[in-house]
Amino acid sequence: MRFVATTLICLAHLITSTVALGSQCSAPLGSGTAAVGAPYWLESMPHVGTAAFNPTPSTYKVYRNVKDYGAIGDGVADDTAAINAAIADQNRCGLGCKSSTTTAGLVYFPPGQYLVTTPIIPFYYTALVGDAKNRPTIVAASNFNGFAVIDADPYIPGGGGAQYWVNQNNFFRAIRGINLDLTRIPPSVPANGIHWQVSQATSLSFVKVTMSQDPSVVHAGLFMENGSGGVMSDLEFIGGGTSVIVGNQQFTVRNAKFSNAKIAIQAIWNWGWTWQNIQIANCGVGIEMATGGTTSDTQTVGSEVLVDFTVSDTPIFVRTSTAQSTFAGSIYIDNAKLTNVPIAVGTKAGATVLAGGTKTIVSWAQGKIYSGSQSTGQYVQSNITPPSKPASLLDSTGKIYGSGRPLYESYSTDQFVSVKAKGAKGDGIQDDTAALQAIFDQYAGCKIIFFDAGSYVISDTLNIPVGTDMIGEMWSQILIKGTAFNDVNNPKVALKFGNAGDVGTLKVTDIVISTVAGSSGAIATEVNIQASSQGSVGFWDTHVRLGGSKGTGLTTSECVKLQNHGMECSSAFLSMHITTGASAYLENVWLWNADHTLDDDPQETQIDVFSGRGILVEGTDIWLVGTGSEHHLFYQYRFHGAKNVYAGIIQTETPYFQPSPAAPSPFPVSAAFKDPDVSVTGSALALSIESSSDILIYGAGLYSFFRAYAQTCLDTKNCQAEIATVSDSTSVNIYSLSTVAVTYQLVYNGQQTINQSANINGFASTVTAWSSDTLSVSAEVNITARKRSRKHRRALPLRLASEH
């Protein structure tokens, strides 16, 4: 029987793999075949992408190679004008334009040294992308003059502090695969590598900034003073006075290295920030979060979650405002390995809060902690009970698993297939359902499916097989449209990733999924695939954007606020569904139901657009890294029957119009989709956890900014009564629960548990740690990853070919 069982399991795997391969495939995709020295595939691909809703789509260029605009890249010639010309060409969204989705710009840098003397200004909806095989370097000249080498939101000269774009709405930007060199700038001359004042749907990844290591240096690799982000990942900062200076409502940083700086990370304000897998070496201070005191006006850093740190040869790991027992900024440290770090947590005045040395900080908190139904928290500056972490969420070193977006740097162009080359139009008008389905049916599993820039209309379910790799040229749009998606009582999946029981891989990158008006029955995405290896089902830089842009019929012209709109302004039934048995890794995924218009509206007018639900997670082994979900009627995040989830940060806003109409109006309740009851408060939930286990949330920014479009409730902190609920669940741990204008931060098993009034932390209110288990102060703590017992290990299912 053992031999037979093994044979059947292997056979099941062969069936799965065979079925996943398209009809034109002779073998799986396998490893990259690009020749040594060959250009990066993105440079060599034919670029036939378009901006479908641009006034002149036939002539507008999305892809721009800076060398086509005169850049030399020899480190000698001044390339500033050429690079900025590549960015600005064809009347793109620069100074005077608030936002635009119709003027996308993918600005590509081949290998080289690009000398600049004044700032590079990436316009709205711009991605600056370098050769991933041989990263280009932007070199600041010795006479560089400007605020930052790359400035994503310049201050207008003589504008009294005004900037090009509103920071909270500075969406859709990327810098990827580019290095910066500031070492030619005299050390004592202030300079910033990147001014990154951005919000959601932005990414800074695979970037290295090198600065002087002279003792007099005052350079900063990155400066961010505002915004509402966002994700930064796979970064390295060497030298400088301060590696990064950061302030934002919330942000996630994963996999970053800091070395040889006076200060590695200087936090200037936030409501919540999560740092995951960070290395700090040979710096004066690791994290400086002291901003002057303990009041809301002087201690402006609200919360820092520090998970999986490695710190060496640094006198102070974390420096905060004061050692007294007041709420001087929330801190949670999880798994920080220190080597020759004398002070783990200290104060600006020189006091030691937590001694360092060579040690591992397993679980340490500064702030208010709560357990279960406790309504009164305990302020601590001490070790606390560590969470139990499922082994399936951890990498081989015991850290939370993480994965950068696929770059396919070793792959050649013949390993890609262009959807336009195979018949898809992407013009935002013609129906591409059949063409796209044929491409997936033919090439899934053996080719990387390349979505040239464009807007691809689908009018029926698009079945995307297990084993698919798909990547957009630059936020390529799939536009869901048609009567199949118009019935709220009979919802229909638009993008179906795999089928129930599938085991394998999936990679989705640089895609925007949208709907048109009246799509009340659209389930935008459904994920059914169980990952065959850790994190092998993944979405990166992929967003569900519902309304607010041209081509959707959900803009100011149709859905301006306070006009008693109904289903004609509906956008979706559900944005994303991770089904029972499925697993997924999400990084920089934003599920946004539009609150304002992005195109042709300098006032950024608010609109009433109705989306039923954000993300429903029923699967197992889930990572949500730097995700957001906003303005959905029932909930933003719903975990029902979910197991083994890591999330950090999750960011939400509830609908501005509620409770007028009251949630969930105009949508009906669906028992089939396990809707929570929101009728009592009339407001959507940000977070709902029910019948779930082993949920780790490392940073939650849950905000309610309006009550029926009025904001007087901000002052009284009661725009809505409840925002997060946990019920009938085990091993749920939430760190840095930061809420805005909500009376009860947490409702546990139906009981209004934590009132925000006890946790005011500047503008927000923060719970440093809450656990469904007992959370207590302890002198010594030990953490072990729980291993699945043999009886709980997943067996590969045996399926017949006919089931597909």
Do 181 and 261 fall into the same domain? yes
pLDDT score, position 17: 39
The answer as to whether 205 is a domain residue is yes
Question: How far apart, in Å, do the first and last CA atoms of the chain sit?
Answer: 27
The answer as to whether 497 is a domain residue is yes
Of 662, 691, 726, the last residue of a domain is 726
The answer as to whether 547 is a domain residue is yes
Q: How far apart are CA 179 and CA 140, in angstroms?
A: 11
Q: Which two tokens stand for residue 700?
A: 């939650």
pLDDT score, position 790: 31
The candidate with the shortest Cα–Cα distance to 507, out of 524, 484, 485, 532, is 532
pLDDT score, position 301: 93
Q: How far apart are CA 459 and CA 448, in angstroms?
A: 23
The answer as to whether 694 is a domain residue is yes
User: For residue 802, which phi and psi values (nearest 5 degrees)?
Assistant: -65, -20
> Which DSSP state fits 156?
P
- Number of structural domains (the chain) is 2
Are 363 and 385 contacting, i.e. CB atoms less than 8 angstroms apart? yes
> Which DSSP state fits 410?
T
Of 706, 726, 746, the last residue of a domain is 726
The CA-atom distances, in angstroms, between 198 and each of 167, 172, 246, 322, 742 are 6, 9, 11, 30, 25
Strand partners, 165: none
> Which DSSP state fits 301?
B
Stated pTM of the model: 0.94
Q: How far apart are CA 199 and CA 99, in angstroms?
A: 13
Region of residue 125 (phi > 0: left; psi between -120 and 50: alpha; otherwise: beta): left
The answer as to whether 768 is a domain residue is no
Q: How far apart are CA 54 and CA 60, in angstroms?
A: 7
Are 514 and 480 contacting, i.e. CB atoms less than 8 angstroms apart? yes
Which runs of consecutive H residues, i.e. helices, occur in 643-740?
713-716
Of 683, 704, 726, the last residue of a domain is 726
The answer as to whether 479 is a domain residue is yes
Do 472 and 525 fall into the same domain? yes
3-state secondary structure of 503: strand
- At position 181, the amino acid (one-letter code) is D
Do 113 and 247 fall into the same domain? yes
pLDDT score, position 317: 99
Do 150 and 249 fall into the same domain? yes
Do 544 and 587 fall into the same domain? yes
User: Which CATH number fits the domain that encloses residue 189?
Assistant: 2.160.20.10
Strand partners, 472: 451
Do 368 and 431 fall into the same domain? no
Do 376 and 432 fall into the same domain? no
The answer as to whether 327 is a domain residue is yes
Strand partners, 273: 251, 304
Q: How far apart are CA 758 and CA 737, in angstroms?
A: 13
Q: How far apart are CA 480 and CA 208, in angstroms?
A: 38
pLDDT score, position 292: 76
Q: Which two tokens stand for residue 410?
A: 């070793």
The answer as to whether 284 is a domain residue is yes
Range(s) of the domain holding residue 275? 60-390
Per the listing, tokens 């229909």 go with 492
In the predicted model, residues of the chain with pLDDT beneath 70 are 1-20, 323-326, 779-804
Do 367 and 472 fall into the same domain? no
Do 295 and 421 fall into the same domain? no
Per the listing, tokens 């009981």 go with 751
Q: Which two tokens stand for residue 724?
A: 């997060």
Do 332 and 465 fall into the same domain? no
Do 376 and 459 fall into the same domain? no
Helix (H) or strand (E) holding 744: strand 742-748
Residue 710 neighbours by CB under 8 Å, 6+ apart: none
Report the residue count for the chain.
804
Q: What does DSSP say about strands 231-238 and 202-210: parallel, antiparallel, or unpaired?
A: parallel
Do 425 and 300 fall into the same domain? no
